[in-house]
Amino acid sequence: MKVLNKINKGNFIKKFTSHPDYEAGCYFQIDIIEGCPYDCGYCFLKHYLKNPDIIVYDNLEKIQKELASTKANYINLSVTTDGSMLSLFPGLSRKLFDILRKFPNKYFEIRFKHKKVMKLLELDPPKNVIFTSTISGITIADKLEIGTSSTIERIDALSIFENSGYKIGIIMDPIILYEGWKEEYGKIFSIANKKLSRLWRFGVGLLRLERSIFPIFLERINNSVLKGKLLGEFTHGDDNKYRYYYNYRINTYKTVLKLASVMNIENILFYMEKKDVKRQVLS
């Protein structure tokens, strides 16, 4: 993969693209890196980014002016890449952190699947940076998220961030259902509960796939140990994505939240889900 340095001629702060009937979980993003060296079988970037290279935007000074004039107070910094990629560009990340430090009332999320994100600690990120990790089933991380760190290594990285004084979160998105997933999720929560004190953010979102990604995903499954082991059927949702059926999703979220109840959780969020799902699940 080539790295291309570019100037962002538009705005850095962008609104999430989401269907009006669905809640997104997070509503604003800043992309200073686009592209990812890892290879997750369900990744939406394959649908969204046309260029296989890594693009790095250098003109970060614009961000300060944009932050000063926006009401957005929670912004994700890792939508078009994995958050760990920031650690490969220390000069850029330091510059970014110096800007974010000036906005202590806003939060900035760095979500990661690779433990090299811990290198960012050497740059002393401000404490309004929230470190979250996408936590997948152990088999999914191992077989379908190629090049990333294992589920347990991600939890270990979260523990180091928490012990360094940062707010942390676990985002289980996408949740993919396969034979043995409940046992694996139970094990994950048991380990996470021993290593982490408090989840400031706990997010859940079941697998959904763009029309163009759906056949690629199925092919990846059929070429892996997960062949014949996926559970649940998919339907074409009103947001034009393939998803599990509504009632199946409700029941699955209830199961995940029950398993998660061993943990100290401050905020529960639903990612790219119909707006009434949270009420249905938590009622």
Q: For residues 13 and 125, what is the distance between their CA atoms, to the nearest angstrom?
A: 19
- Work out how close the CB of 247 gets to ligand SF4 at its nearest, in angstroms, rounded to a whole number: 27
As to burial, measured by CB atoms within 10 angstroms (0-12 exposed, 13-18 middle, 19+ buried), residue 223 is exposed
Looking at the Cβ atoms of 113 and 208, the one nearer to ligand SF4 is: 113
Q: For residues 76 and 129, what is the distance between their CA atoms, to the nearest angstrom?
A: 10
Measure CA of the first residue to CA of the last residue in the chain; give whole Å: 47
- Work out how close the CB of 209 gets to ligand SF4 at its nearest, in angstroms, rounded to a whole number: 12
Looking at the Cβ atoms of 23 and 145, the one nearer to ligand SF4 is: 145
- Which residues have CB under 8 Å from 283's CB, separation 6+? none
- Work out how close the CB of 171 gets to ligand SF4 at its nearest, in angstroms, rounded to a whole number: 11
Distances in Å between the Cα of 181 and the Cα atoms of 28, 133, 219, 229, 258 are 31, 18, 20, 10, 14
Looking at the Cβ atoms of 103 and 137, the one nearer to ligand SF4 is: 137
- Work out how close the CB of 71 gets to ligand SF4 at its nearest, in angstroms, rounded to a whole number: 27
Looking at the Cβ atoms of 148 and 252, the one nearer to ligand SF4 is: 148
- Work out how close the CB of 220 gets to ligand SF4 at its nearest, in angstroms, rounded to a whole number: 12
Looking at the Cβ atoms of 66 and 156, the one nearer to ligand SF4 is: 156
Half-sphere CA count of 89, side-chain side, radius 13 A: 22
Looking at the Cβ atoms of 43 and 67, the one nearer to ligand SF4 is: 43
Q: Are 44 and 24 in contact (CB under 8 A)?
A: no
Looking at the Cβ atoms of 103 and 131, the one nearer to ligand SF4 is: 131
- Work out how close the CB of 153 gets to ligand SF4 at its nearest, in angstroms, rounded to a whole number: 14
Looking at the Cβ atoms of 39 and 266, the one nearer to ligand SF4 is: 39
- Work out how close the CB of 148 gets to ligand SF4 at its nearest, in angstroms, rounded to a whole number: 6
Point out which residues bind ligand SF4 (CB under 6 A). 36, 38-40, 43, 45, 81-82, 113, 145, 148
- Work out how close the CB of 227 gets to ligand SF4 at its nearest, in angstroms, rounded to a whole number: 21
Q: For residues 12 and 60, what is the distance between their CA atoms, to the nearest angstrom?
A: 8
Residue 30 bridge partners (DSSP): 13
Residue 86 bridge partners (DSSP): none
